[in-house]
Amino acid sequence: MLPIVDELIVVVGDSNDGTREAIVNLKNLKIKIVDSVWDENLRKNGKIFAQQSDIGLNQVSGDWAFHLQIDEVLHENAGEIIFKAIRKADSNKNIDGLLFPFLHFWGDYNHIRNTRRTHQYEIRAFKNTGDIRAYKDSQGFRDFSKKPRGEKLRVIKTDTPIYHYSYARHPQLMKKKDNYFHRFWHNDSWLKENINESEFNYNEVDKLEVFTEEHPVFMTEIIKRKDWDFRYDPSQSNMKFKDRILNGVEKATGKRLFEYRNYRLVNEK
């Protein structure tokens, strides 16, 4: 992100994994670190993630904000495409932000999950009005200037994807992360009944596709350090019957029917 922003606000939690030190060692004057301690009492609907996103938004001084989560990466050639879209949107009062396609990696760096259980698009750049805040678990954003539940942002699409690597890690690490994050959606009783220490099974998934394109240069060394093997077994699919029908319709027509959209797509004609 550094090449395309005037300032980079990084909200760093109270951890001992070396994250803060790594950011400091970049020695870039654009970077501003905001230290934060997670309130582990916020254990409903992933609200803690929206809170942390808003902490960062409160520090943004520019006319536009660009939001990336820690497991999301931009391609190094995305800058000009993003600038062009921002210039177009900035001059139109009926456009609030930009909508990005997502590539959700699953199991390794060679498979992506593109089904009804993932979001095809989400908002990652928007006008910094002061009223736009993270919505629910911070998957997306809304304008809270008029309504308590917020209003969907009016957006235009961009062509450059967000590379999402949340589910591309060693199965043991994935299980550890999964167990920890469940606490921000569920109470202790649920955790006691459902948490276990077995390896994460990446084949417990609806459907995956093979990814053959290039990754961002930033990911090169990370991918080289991959130390696990994943073999996709479609026979273990847990796709529901309803989704199988809708998936067939999508494959035939190119349209994803009844898809949840936390945005209003602006007609650019």
Domain ranges across the chain? 67-269
Task: Flag whether the pTM goes above 0.85.
Answer: yes
* Mean pLDDT, 10 residues at a time, the chain of 269 residues: 95 91 96 92 87 96 96 97 96 97 98 96 98 94 96 97 98 95 91 91 98 97 98 97 94 91 86
Which residues lie closer than 8 Å to 236 by C-beta, 6 or more apart? 203, 204, 205
Query: Given this model, what pLDDT does residue 207 score?
Result: 97
Q: Which long-range contacts (CB under 8 A, 24 or more apart) does 112-115 make?
A: 112/208, 112/209, 112/211, 113/167, 113/205, 113/206, 113/207, 113/208, 113/209, 114/207, 114/209, 115/206, 115/207, 115/239, 115/243, 115/247
Per-residue confidence (pLDDT) for residue 22, from 0 to 100: 94
Cα angle value 108/159/105 (rounded, 5°) = 10
Query: Can you give the pLDDT at residue 268?
Result: 65
What amino acid is encoded at 158 in this protein? T
Q: Give me the pLDDT at residue 43, please.
A: 80
pLDDT score, position 269? 56
Structure confidence at residue 8 (pLDDT):
98
